[in-house]
Structure 1
Amino acid sequence: MMAITASLVKELRERTGLGMMECKKALVETDGDIEAAIDNLRKASGLKAAKKAGRTAAEGIIVTRTSADNTLVMLLEINSETDFVARDDNFLGFANKVADIAFEKKQADVATLMADGLEAEREALVQKIGENISVRRIEFVGGEGKTVEAYVHGGRIAAAVELVGGTAELAKDIAMHVAAINPQFVSPASIPAEVLEREKEVVRAQSEGSGKPAEIIEKMMVGRIKKFEAEISLLEQPFVKDADIKVGALAKKAGAEVVSFTRFEVGEGIEKEEVDFAAEVAAAAKGN
């Protein structure tokens, strides 16, 4: 059986806003599976949603490059240990050099890209700055016949949108929306069946506790699932710059179709180790 750590309980509390004992009990019941615990808590308590995991402690920058004809965009993430280094001119110079070479070579494989001299430069920079520097990921969006553009917010969040038809300006506007709102899928039709089924189970469990007749519960479920689909689908979301029009309608009005989007956020999915300095000092003292 998995040990239920204080940090695991803390994360569940942060994501749900529920009490410590309730969170601990839920984790015990799921053997430490935090996503399953969230589902059970939602079913039992009527909790509407939980915050996404993602104490994204890793620092760094996202750099983009766009072709002159707006048919290809590249997103690149480079990480540092602290925000201070992420703003350092040496770090930024290296990040831009890597981006230029990756875009010129159309190389999305980090290991292959770094093998040609850039790894030695990265190691030299690590020695100079005194922090680990990591080229984490590269993604290209677009291609022949597509219209693409990227939007970057503060160097920490970037999004690229791929259209058929439309303009680069429209693609950038929709990319800004993606960066700000963080949709999960392009349209309701593109949502995987397992995602919908998981949400249906939660809605069903919440509805059955209402005491309403089965036919009313079924209607409630249909409405709730439709709302859920709209909330996580880019085309169904109210446009961030004009809430009176949905993104899908905005694109259609401009004679464009949204094919795909990509969104990077610095450090997402990386959990930085939390160091208890007091405990570390105490342990060191005992060792002396």
Structure 2
Amino acid sequence: MAITAAMVKELRESTGAGMMDAKKALTESNGDMEAAVDWLRTKGLAKAAKKSGRTAAEGLVAVVVEGGKGVAVEVNSETDFVAKNAEFQGMVAKIAEAALNASDVDALKAADLGGKTVESTLTDAIAKIGENMGLRRMASIEGGNVVSYVHNAAAPGMGKIGVLVAMDGGDEAFGKQVAMHIAATSPAALNEAELDPAVVEKEKSVQIDIARESGKPEAVIEKMIVGRMQKFMAEVTLVNQQFVINPDVTVGDAAKALGATITGFIRLEVGEGIEKKEEDFAAEVAKTAAGA
């Protein structure tokens, strides 16, 4: 029986399976839709699809450094319990290694991981473990010296927050201190030049509105804004922040004293920016008991 695009579309919509998987299921089932669904279920693909709509905001960030290059990847799961699973951690470690040769997330998803793509490996893991998972982000950085740090480590090289710091000069110990600082303070940018202009303008607008509430003359307000924006830059740009290791100096000054120049950084935190659905377990139990 000829397998049409409409049939593939229908099966994809009913199961959430990928296009190639849906087409193969229909081919194997000679166009029988119900049999194709069963085929997907036996392969774990339909099960994986059902999980795909659930929020995956837990998981791990893994970091790998090789030579003058470092990569960080975020692989999500639904629960922290899975993030502590040795099999999940092993998969994340392999994905991070593969990221060293990938240009972006899409390339990483298509990368080979022991004869399967990273995306297929994740699909298989969803079916086996029974939770939605996803490769959400990856980022890479290069420099004369790249140092990594993981906060709340669950296993070597992976945890809740992963940081990479690129420097010219300096040493491993200083790089680690800067990475720990970044994990704690989450700077918005390396310096003022790299800060998003839209962020700067928004903050300036807010500060102008606040200053005008004081009723002071415009000339005074202008001077107030200069000072407040300098303070803002000191709070959100890495090189201008007070160094958590020694608050008497800025990060930039600490680097300069060691003959180092920080050229960039990456900070990934698990679940950052994902809207988590809050569950009221007691209310859910009461609702079920009431027969609602």
The two structures share one fold, judged by TM-score above 0.5 = yes
Distance 1:125 1:247 in 2: 42
* Structure 1, gaps ≥5 residues long: 1-55
Whether 1:166 aligns to 2:164 is no
Q: For 2:165, what is the secondary structure of its paired residue?
A: strand
Where does residue 189 of structure 1 map in the other structure? 193
- Deviation at 1:177? 0.8
Distance 1:192 1:75 in 2: 22
Q: Which residue, out of 228, 233, 238, partners 1:229?
A: 233
Q: Are 1:108 and 1:138, in contact at CA under 8 Å, matched by a contact in 2?
A: no
Q: Are 1:59 and 1:79, in contact at CA under 8 Å, matched by a contact in 2?
A: yes
Q: Are 1:188 and 1:230, in contact at CA under 8 Å, matched by a contact in 2?
A: no
- The structure-2 alpha-carbon separation of the partners of 1:131 and 1:195, relative to structure 1 and needing over 3 Å to count, comes to same
CA RMSD between the two structures = 2.3
- The structure-2 alpha-carbon separation of the partners of 1:211 and 1:159, relative to structure 1 and needing over 3 Å to count, comes to same
Q: For 2:214, what is the secondary structure of its paired residue?
A: coil
Distance 2:59 2:269 in 1: 10
Where does residue 60 of structure 1 map in the other structure? 59
- Deviation at 1:281? 8.1
Q: For 2:204, what is the secondary structure of its paired residue?
A: helix
Distance 2:62 2:147 in 1: 13
- The structure-2 alpha-carbon separation of the partners of 1:181 and 1:195, relative to structure 1 and needing over 3 Å to count, comes to same
Q: Are 1:57 and 1:271, in contact at CA under 8 Å, matched by a contact in 2?
A: no
Name which structure has the greater RCO, CA cutoff 8 Å, separation 6+: 1
Q: For 2:272, what is the secondary structure of its paired residue?
A: coil
- Deviation at 1:175? 1.2
- Deviation at 1:200? 1.7
Q: Are 1:107 and 1:113, in contact at CA under 8 Å, matched by a contact in 2?
A: yes
Higher mean alpha-carbon deviation, 256-265 vs 276-285, is at 276-285
Q: Which residue, out of 236, 252, 263, partners 1:259?
A: 263
Aligned pair count reads 225
Within-5 A mapping of 1:102-141: 102-103=99-100, 106-115=101-110, 116=112, 117=116, 118-141=118-141
Distance 2:93 2:194 in 1: 34
- Deviation at 1:280? 9.6
Q: Are 1:142 and 1:162, in contact at CA under 8 Å, matched by a contact in 2?
A: yes
- Deviation at 1:180? 0.7
Distance 2:119 2:220 in 1: 62
Distance 2:120 2:242 in 1: 47
Distance 1:226 1:129 in 2: 50
- The structure-2 alpha-carbon separation of the partners of 1:266 and 1:213, relative to structure 1 and needing over 3 Å to count, comes to same
Q: Are 1:64 and 1:150, in contact at CA under 8 Å, matched by a contact in 2?
A: yes
Q: Are 1:141 and 1:262, in contact at CA under 8 Å, matched by a contact in 2?
A: yes
* Structure 2, gaps ≥5 residues long: 1-54, 153-158
- The structure-2 alpha-carbon separation of the partners of 1:193 and 1:124, relative to structure 1 and needing over 3 Å to count, comes to closer
Q: Which amino acid letter does the alignment assign opposite residue 240 of structure 2?
A: E
Distance 1:269 1:96 in 2: 23
Distance 1:274 1:210 in 2: 40
Q: Which residue, out of 66, 72, 77, partners 2:74?
A: 77
Where does residue 99 of structure 1 map in the other structure? 96
Larger strand proportion of the pair: 2
Q: Deviations over 1:51-97 (max 9, x none)?
A: xxxxx971001111111x4x111111111000011101111111112
Distance 2:212 2:119 in 1: 58
If you compute each CA radius of gyration, which structure gives the higher value, 1 or 2?
2
Which 4+ residue blocks in structure 1 deviate beyond 4 angstroms?
A: 275-286
Where does residue 253 of structure 2 map in the other structure? 249
Q: For 2:182, what is the secondary structure of its paired residue?
A: helix
Q: Are 1:150 and 1:175, in contact at CA under 8 Å, matched by a contact in 2?
A: yes
Q: Are 1:161 and 1:261, in contact at CA under 8 Å, matched by a contact in 2?
A: yes
- The structure-2 alpha-carbon separation of the partners of 1:285 and 1:173, relative to structure 1 and needing over 3 Å to count, comes to same
Identity %: 43
